Amino acid sequence: MSPRQACALPGYCALYVGVVGLLIYLSQGMVHLLLRRNWIGRIRLALTLVGLPFTVCSSGVRPTISCAPSYPFRTTKTITTTTTSCCKLCTTSVRTMPSSAALHVKSRCPQYPGSKIKRFPVPDDKVDWSQKWPQYNPVNHTDPAVLKKPVWADAEIGVFSPKFNTVDAGVDRTSFEGPYKVENGKPLNPHGRTGVTGRGLLGRWGPNHAADPIVTRWKADAKGAKILHSVSKRLILQFVAIKRKDCGEWAIPGGMVDPGEQVSLTLQREFSEEALNSLSVTPAERAKIHERINKLFKSPGFQVYKGYVDDPRNTDNAWMETVAVNFHDESGNSVSELPLQAGDDAGQVKWVDVDSSFALYASHSHFLELVAKERKAHW
């Protein structure tokens, strides 16, 4: 509403003048702080120092429930040993986004993915385990592929007794959410009820850990000059995106953390296998990839997210957690010069402009938004 329109309506003119006056007053102090480019980082740091969570919420509207899984398990991949130095994850408070404490939604998807199993409906007010609910009657479901005991899956409870909330025989059963409860020998989802017990499509009882490497560079012209967006007038980031074979959607490369494997190595391995097809190239090409990858992944990474993932495969007893880390090729002379080649779970791979209009798989758009804001790039 313009000033002229506001003053044309009875009672609005005085209100309008009052609001303008208040804004002018505030502009001398608080507004200057809020309009500074680093205000989110400063607030996040302050909240972290006093032990309070910080969550960015772009909308109060709950997203539509989707049954698309976030991280497919590898069922045929051969685990290879790669000698590498661990990448340095920047985990200072100002550069780390904590996990969200919001109610999980996709984890209550009406139909469990990859099956005809219908979840027992769980309303919002009954999600938390602290809410007494004698009528709760979840469906027990563990996919037949999991019951065949592949190398990436646990046996059934009773056949063995895993040590929860610790590292057990190389398998990390700790949660980024902190210690979780164990009832009748089975772990309880830290974000509450899902309407399904058992493991569903997940291999591990309790947390199933994944890692998402977000590799970025600045978009440049043929002469190497960085390009500004025509509207925002900010530099344009590009990231390596893969087109998933399972659903055909574009996504960040990523995968599951193998037993005994450092997350830093998972990030590097998954990117090499999915975006550079390192498993299928010659030894000479693999050595070249290894050299460039090491150069990039030794640089400090911006930890975008670390915590629980609202994944439709989650159950009352098994759930997804991930670490998403951004590695930025600032000079454009490391992985930027390597030819991208889809491998493993990827159908296609390419450099994609980071932009809010580009649809991405699961919650990956939100991860890219955080990266763009951190690097003050176009979004």
Confidence of residue 51 (pLDDT cuts 50, 70, 90): very low
| Higher-confidence position of 206 and 311 | 206
- According to the model, what pLDDT value does residue 286 have? 80
| pLDDT > 80? residue 11 | no
- In this prediction, residues 64-89 reach a mean pLDDT of 40
Q: How far apart are CA 278 and CA 213, in angstroms?
A: 16
- Tokens read off for 301: 């990474």
302-361, pLDDT tens digit by residue?
A: 899 999 988 889 999 999 999 999 999 888 777 777 777 777 666 788 899 999 999 887
Flag the least confident range among 55-69, 166-180, 190-204: 55-69
- Average pLDDT over all residues of the chain: 77
Q: Are 322 and 340 in contact (CB under 8 A)?
A: no
Report in angstroms the alpha-carbon separations of 264 from 129, 204, 212: 33, 20, 10
Confidence of residue 263 (pLDDT cuts 50, 70, 90): confident
- According to the model, what pLDDT value does residue 246 have? 72
Flag the least confident range among 3-17, 155-169, 358-372: 3-17
Confidence of residue 264 (pLDDT cuts 50, 70, 90): confident
- According to the model, what pLDDT value does residue 260 have? 79
Flag the least confident range among 65-74, 208-217, 246-255, 349-358: 65-74
- Three-state DSSP string of the chain: CCHHHHHCCCCHHHHHHHHHHHHHHHHCCHHHHHCCCCHHHHHHHHHHHCCCCCCCCCCCCCCCCCCCCCCCCCCCCCCCCCCCCCCCEECCHHHCCCCCCCCCCHHHCCECCCCCCECCCCCHHHCCCCCCCCCCCCEEEECHHHHCCCCCCCCCECCECCCCCCEECCEECCCCCCCCCEECCEECCCCCCCCEEEEECCCCCEEEEEEEEEEEEECECCCCCECECCCCCCECEEEEEEEECCCCCEECCCEECCCCCCHHHHHHHHHHHHHCCCCCCCHHHHHHHHHHHHHHHCCCEEEEEEEEECCCCCCCCEEEEEEEEEEEECCCCCHHHCCCCCCCCEEEEEEEECCCCCCCCCCHHHHHHHHHHHCCCCC
- In this prediction, residues 146-168 reach a mean pLDDT of 94
Q: Which amino acid, 197? A: T
| pLDDT > 60? residue 290 | yes
Give the global pTM. 0.68
Flag the least confident range among 22-31, 123-132, 194-203: 22-31
Q: Are 305 and 99 in contact (CB under 8 A)?
A: yes
Confidence of residue 293 (pLDDT cuts 50, 70, 90): confident
- According to the model, what pLDDT value does residue 100 have? 56
- According to the model, what pLDDT value does residue 16 have? 47
Angle in degrees, 0-180, between the axes of helices 283-297 and 263-275, rounded to the nearest 10: 130
- According to the model, what pLDDT value does residue 276 have? 77
Q: What is the dihedral of CA 289, 290, 295, 299, to 10 degrees?
A: 110
| pLDDT > 70? residue 34 | no
- According to the model, what pLDDT value does residue 75 have? 37
219-237, pLDDT tens digit by residue?
A: 999 888 999 999 999 999 9
178-187, pLDDT tens digit by residue?
A: 999 999 999 9
Residue at token pair 């989802």:
189
Q: Which amino acid, 317? A: N
Among positive and negative, which fits the CA dihedral 194, 199, 202, 204? positive
Q: Are 174 and 308 in contact (CB under 8 A)?
A: no
Strand partners, 321: 209, 308
End-to-end CA distance of the chain: 27
- According to the model, what pLDDT value does residue 186 have? 97
**What are the boundaries of each domain within the chain?**
106-375
Strands 206-218 and 255-256: antiparallel
Instruction: Say how far residue 333 (Cα) sits from the centre of its chain.
Output: 27
Look at domain 106-375 and name its CATH class.
alpha beta
Instruction: Say how far residue 83 (Cα) sits from the centre of its chain.
Output: 26
Q: What percent of the chain shows pLDDT beyond 70?
A: 72
Smallest Cα–Cα separation from 113: which of 248, 313, 318? 313
Flag the least confident range among 149-153, 169-173, 285-289: 285-289
- According to the model, what pLDDT value does residue 206 have? 98
- According to the model, what pLDDT value does residue 242 have? 87
